[in-house]
Structure 1
Amino acid sequence: MNVFLTGVTGFLGSRLAETLQSKADLNLSVAVRQPVQVCGGRVFEVQGLDISTNWSSALAGQKVLIHAAARAHIMKDEVTDPLAEYRKVNVEGTISLARQAAAAGVKRFIFISSIKVNGEQTQCGKPFTAEDIPAPEDAYGLSKWEAEQGLRQLAIETGMEVVIIRSPLVYGPGVKGNFASLIKIVAKGLPIPLGSVHNQRSLVALDNLVDLIIACVDHPAAADQVFLAGDGHDMSTTELLRAVANAMDKSPRLISVPELLILLIATIIGKKAIAQRLLGSLQVDISKARNLLGWEPPISVEEGLARCFSESSLRSGFSPKTSLHR
């Protein structure tokens, strides 16, 4: 089966490409913005992901398209109109790609979305489900939701199957952003005032997300469905810090500080949003993937965290090269 992948040089896309390459029954092609080499696959150089991109040569003969490229969530976006910038890539670029894919005969379009489509927080013990009414709160989440709506309408118009996967925070070798910052704090042995946080948060190990995506490549029951990704095991921020420290063979310096005091101090210093993420709950229900696809996360949280720091994992993945094969 011919599979086409966008976002191949990203955190998710690089591991996904590596895994897809190992499947004997799949022929991988990828889109890149700068020259790379993919053993045994085809590479198509594109100028960008927007409405003007012509995908015709890249999409010829493809049966499944996995769209992992996007304008990523940016914590401190300095552009004048963030929503407009997200829409150019995440909405207009995605719909243009999908429309061209349908015209080229692509059977299934797998869209990597975000749990931000559901919202930012859940009540403890009441996880998000794939059937919840979307309630995005920021520009990134809204752009992903608008893309989902456009893809669903396109599926109705063209008959191309659309699979949507919404993911919470993804962790693994090479992770960046807030999770990387958390790792650095633990590694330095700094005191952390999060020793008694009682929230519950869902995460997904990189390899678990990759496994779910691959399960959706040809499973008949995945057609035109929305799935939430996760490890199937939720943790409080305190438990997560301990687990990260354990994976690093360190002892975390956790200090118990009342959550209201943490929030108050964070608000005063302009870090309220970060405190809310550390203290609030965000749980996802992955039972739909389990029931429809028979899917189970292949690795545990402990194994996923261990892979963040294992030498072999840090060396693995899709690595940009200098040559270009078409």
Structure 2
Amino acid sequence: MKEFAYQRAFDVPGALALLDAGSDARFLGGGTNLVDLMKAGVERPARLVDVRGLPLNRVEPTADGGLRIGATVTNSDLAAHPEVRRRYPALAQAVLAGASGQLRNMATVGGNLLQRTRCGYFTDVTRPCNKRVPGSGCPAVEGEHRNHAILGASGHCVAVHPSDMAVALTAFDAVVSYETADGPGELPLTEFYVPVGDTPHRETSLPRGALITGVILPPAPVAARSRYRKVRERASYAFAIGSVAAALDVEGGVVREARLALGAVASRPWRARAAERALTGARADGEAFAAAADAELAAANPLPRNAYKVALTRNLMVAVLTGLAEEAAR
């Protein structure tokens, strides 16, 4: 690992000042992804600014009935929070599906949003990777891509985003708040992640030097009946090969509102807008759920060895929506 300096920050202005004080500095939360990448030589910051001491570790109600989640709230505390479990159960389920207990105790909300792909070509510094070295190529296109993207990819990168938490947040229209030296800002999560295009090294639209301070969940009554379901290659801690966050409001057997986001299918959490449009006003039955899944996956462009993800994602969407509809009918 490259030698680096380490400093602690205890307030937001101090953290921003420390980041600006020298070149090639990074904020450090729980370090569950960044430190691993430093060990592998993928990340080589000259200085780490530890932000765990910032007063950003609370989950609080907002004036309009939503929730504000501080950036340094740990994944364990987020999943256990009674208001998260009651009002956004899919979010708690996603966090619990995301890692081992030890990692959840360390990992922070802000860091989770910024975690980077686990593509083997990205984490192996002996191999080309456009995300790590722009213009060097994407060997996954012709190489090992079984767990890679089927939606929104490009010839420049076919890696998927690894976060479970971000999938649920995407379904619930979460907004990321941040601070820079020029003042505060906000980004809807659907705009926070940049489409891969021909610049896969640009992963978010955060301004340079920005510090994530929290995530705002707008009020969403539909979210109270929601689920997160993850498919992985082993039952223990593993990254998804497909996941769905869904919420459904059904009255008289008809869908009044649906929220859907997919994980492990694209370079960012994938909001399933086409499926949501197909479901709104439709009968809450298997036929409508399958048609909605097909509408979303019509844009899928799988690679030779990951076409299984199309059927897997379709079946997963139908299963989760069916479970929610059955729950509504009780």
Shorter chain as normaliser: what TM range?
A: under 0.3
Instruction: Give the strand-richer structure, 1 or 2.
Output: 2
TM-score under structure 2 length normalisation:
0.26
Tell me which of the two structures has the higher relative contact order, counting C-alpha pairs closer than 8 angstroms and 6 or more residues apart.
1
Instruction: Give the helix-richer structure, 1 or 2.
Output: 1
TM-score under structure 1 length normalisation:
0.26
